[in-house]
């Protein structure tokens, strides 16, 4: 263990006694807050924790690393600095700002919520935890984060980091993928969290999980403010806890991606309004791995220079795309509902999901 300020911060379990969960969590409060105020990362949304900024950052951080979010957050704030701006932005412009973050339903829900905020709340986020949960795209975690950080309300914000930290500290062998386990942890944290600074408390738990009690690899127990309180560390169970039910294997789909070029313009098209990547623009594709000699026939053309492109793979939450690609330089326009755009227009105006990145970078 590092011999530093932590020697003074650690709370020791009384000799011959075993703390219950609530006692253990209460004992963790002060060490957590002291550690957080000294070691927290400096992040743009933390320096100005206004409701709108906290909301946008929390939605962006879902399924996305902090370092990846930073430039997106700054760009988003510059383009859409308030709720009204978000409510009025066109969907194409919004999705272009979101391009690369993935999970595009998050962006659409932001706009739906902003429209509702303008209509019902005068363009301001409500301070009520229960009212926040009624907004599109906001669940218990995000509502708790906004309410506690922006409005200083004593409500929990339990994400995967918090589930892992508390499970390890209390030695819990419960499956953290179960909603009932998360709900019980929310209730427990609500009972013990310090009422004077709930936002910092929630962020401290999240921060410990993000940079000390890490999700992948060996936790940095020697740097943890909860070292002396952690049952998993004491019993060498950090490789076992947290307990998670095994994930269902992802389905593999094979796709052939086409870069169709005619007179310096590239063909894109809009996907169906339902299903994977709904209503987003895409490079034309074909189901399966279509061999080069069948491309002209499949497109219904007689002429065209076809160049093979590298294979690529993209992983969604439940599906994997295994792709091959071809660049097709056309002398005639094939039938189909295509939009022909310049590479500059594709770069500045139209949002194509990261699933096509291996091929769009060959255009740009």
Residues 222, 260 within the same domain: no
User: Which of 175, 201, 234 corresponds to the end of one domain?
Assistant: 234
User: Which of 205, 234, 263 corresponds to the end of one domain?
Assistant: 234
- Asked whether residue 1 is domain-assigned, the answer is no
Cβ contact 320:313 at 8 Å: yes
Residues 151, 270 within the same domain: no
The pLDDT of residue 2 is 46
Residues 127, 257 within the same domain: no
Residues 78, 206 within the same domain: yes
- Asked whether residue 327 is domain-assigned, the answer is yes
Helix or strand or coil: residue 48? Answer: coil
- Asked whether residue 242 is domain-assigned, the answer is no
Residues 18, 65 within the same domain: yes
Residues 96, 32 within the same domain: yes
Residues 262, 199 within the same domain: no
- Asked whether residue 241 is domain-assigned, the answer is no
CATH number at residue 225: 1.10.340.30
Residues 210, 309 within the same domain: no
- Asked whether residue 244 is domain-assigned, the answer is no
Cβ contact 236:310 at 8 Å: no
Q: Is 13 assigned a catalytic role?
A: no
CA distances from 269 to 13, 260, 315 (A): 62, 11, 21
Cβ contact 19:13 at 8 Å: yes
Residues 57, 164 within the same domain: yes
Cβ contact 285:255 at 8 Å: yes
pTM score over 0.85: yes
Instruction: Going residue by residue through the chain, which has 364 residues, state the pLDDT in tens, using 9 for 90 and above.
Output: 443 444 445 555 555 567 899 999 999 999 999 999 999 999 999 999 999 999 999 999 998 899 999 999 999 999 999 999 999 999 999 999 999 898 899 999 999 999 999 999 999 999 999 999 999 999 999 999 999 999 999 999 999 999 999 999 999 999 999 999 999 999 999 999 999 999 999 999 999 999 999 998 899 999 999 999 999 999 999 999 999 999 889 999 999 999 999 999 999 999 988 888 988 999 999 999 999 989 988 888 887 899 999 999 999 989 999 999 999 999 888 888 899 999 999 988 998 999 999 999 999 6
- Asked whether residue 239 is domain-assigned, the answer is no
**Hey, which residues does 269 pair with through a beta bridge?**
282
- The residue range of the domain holding 257 is 251-363
Question: Could you give the number of structural domains in the chain?
Answer: 2
Residues 51, 139 within the same domain: yes
- Asked whether residue 245 is domain-assigned, the answer is no
- Asked whether residue 221 is domain-assigned, the answer is yes
Cβ contact 358:323 at 8 Å: yes
Residue among 58, 99, 186, 207 flagged as catalytic = 58
The pLDDT of residue 4 is 47
Helix or strand or coil: residue 345? Answer: helix
The pLDDT of residue 62 is 92
């Amino acid at each position: 263990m590092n011999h530093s300020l932590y020697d003074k911060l650690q709370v020791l379990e009384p000799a011959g006694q075993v703390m219950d969960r609530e006692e253990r969590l209460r004992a963790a409060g002060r060490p957590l807050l002291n550690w957080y105020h000294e070691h927290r990362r400096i992040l743009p949304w933390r320096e100005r924790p206004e409701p709108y900024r906290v909301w946008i950052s929390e939605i962006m951080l879902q399924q996305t690393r902090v370092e990846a979010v930073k430039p997106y957050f700054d760009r988003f704030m510059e383009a859409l600095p308030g709720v009204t701006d978000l409510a009025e932005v066109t969907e194409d412009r919004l999705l272009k700002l979101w391009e690369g973050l993935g999970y595009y339903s998050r962006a659409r829900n932001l706009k739906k919520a902003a429209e509702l905020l303008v209509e019902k709340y005068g363009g301001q986020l409500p301070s009520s935890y229960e009212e926040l949960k009624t907004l599109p795209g906001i669940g218990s975690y995000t509502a708790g984060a906004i309410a506690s950080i922006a409005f200083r309300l004593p409500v929990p914000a339990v994400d995967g980091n918090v589930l892992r930290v508390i499970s390890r500290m209390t030695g819990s062998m419960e499956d953290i993928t179960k909603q009932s386990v998360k709900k019980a942890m929310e209730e427990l944290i609500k009972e013990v969290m310090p009422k004077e600074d709930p936002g910092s408390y929630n962020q401290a738990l999240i921060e410990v999980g993000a940079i000390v009690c890490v999700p992948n690899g060996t936790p940095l127990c020697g740097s943890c403010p909860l070292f002396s309180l952690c049952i998993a560390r004491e019993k060498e169970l950090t490789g076992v806890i947290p307990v998670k039910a095994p994930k269902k294997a992802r389905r593999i789909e094979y796709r052939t991606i086409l870069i169709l070029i005619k007179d310096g313009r590239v063909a894109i098209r809009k996907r169906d309004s339902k299903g994977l990547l709904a209503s987003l623009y895409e490079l034309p594709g074909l189901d399966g791995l279509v061999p080069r000699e069948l491309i002209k026939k499949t497109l219904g053309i007689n002429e065209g220079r076809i160049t093979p492109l590298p294979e690529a793979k993209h992983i969604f939450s439940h599906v994997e795309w295994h792709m091959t690609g071809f660049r097709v330089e056309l002398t005639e326009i094939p039938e189909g509902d295509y939009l022909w755009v310049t590479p500059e227009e594709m770069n500045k105006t139209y949002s194509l999901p990261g699933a096509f990145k291996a091929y769009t970078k060959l255009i740009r």
